[in-house]
Amino acid sequence: MTKFEKAKAEIVHDKTLSDGWTRLSNYEIDYTDSEGDTHRLHREVYHRTPAATILLHDPRRDTVVLVRQFRLPVHLHGEPAWIVEAPAGLLDGEEPEAAIRREAMEETGFRVRDVSFLFKAYSSPGSSTEVVHFFAASIDTDGRISNGGGLAEEHEDIEVVEVPLDEALAMIGTGEIVDFKTIILLQWAALNKGALNKP
User: At a CB cut-off of 8 Å and minimum separation 6, what does 24 contact?
Assistant: 16, 17, 18, 44, 45, 46, 47
**Is pLDDT above 70 for 35?**
yes
Which pTM was predicted?
0.89
Domains by residue range for the chain, with CATH: 3-47 (no CATH), 51-194 (3.90.79.10)
Each residue's pLDDT tens digit, 62-103: 999 999 999 999 999 999 899 999 999 999 889 999 999 999
Q: Report d(CA 61, CA 136) in Å as an integer.
A: 16
Measure the CA–CA gap between 74 and 81, rounded to whole angstroms: 5
